[in-house]
Amino acid sequence: MELDDLRRQWQQPALAPSSLNQADLGRLLAQHPAGLVEKMRRNARLETAFVALMAVAMPFIIRLANNFLERALVVSLFLLALVLLRYYYRKLLLLRQLTQPDGHVLSNLRRLCTGLRSLFRFNYSLTLALVPASLLLVYEYLIVNEMNRPGGFRLVVLLGACAALLAVGAGLY
């Protein structure tokens, strides 16, 4: 993971202060680093663009939904996209601050890493909460389709689907 690479680089011994003169320091500061923070920013921008495109497409997709359950699923995905856009906005702000040192560098990095950790914790919690919610939505969709089936209601199919979804949920957990 990129955060672990950043931590490993941070823990490596630094260059001796006497090894850099003023010209070397100026040249080093003038370079645009293509390091881990830049990779994290690029990935966050790409993820933000994808989520924004999905959020823009959701109102058009809702018109294609045939029943209430499909519409509810699209609306819930739209709300999730809005939450994720807010998350990525905060993540990009923190990553931008990583490239703009102000004040004491170590305290600034500690504060920013704390912010990133809280965002990662939120992402992890959101992911764990969405797994059972999405499995329940899939099961509800299967129940509605089975009830509307012209041939009648098949309990065996629903029990098999329930067992399969429980197995998938346990595997994801």
161: amino acid identity, one letter: A
What's the token pair of residue 109?
């990095």
Distances (CA, A) of 91 to 50, 51, 122, 165: 15, 14, 11, 33
How many whole angstroms separate alpha carbon 46 and alpha carbon 60?
A: 22
Q: DSSP characters for 12-25? A: SPPPPGGG--HHHH
pTM: 0.62
pLDDT digits (tens, 9 = 90+) for 30-74: 665 567 778 888 998 999 999 999 999 988 888 888 877 788 888
What residue spans of the chain are helical by DSSP H?
2-11, 22-30, 36-62, 68-98, 105-147, 155-172
What's the token pair of residue 114?
């704390």
pLDDT for residue 16 is more than 60:
no
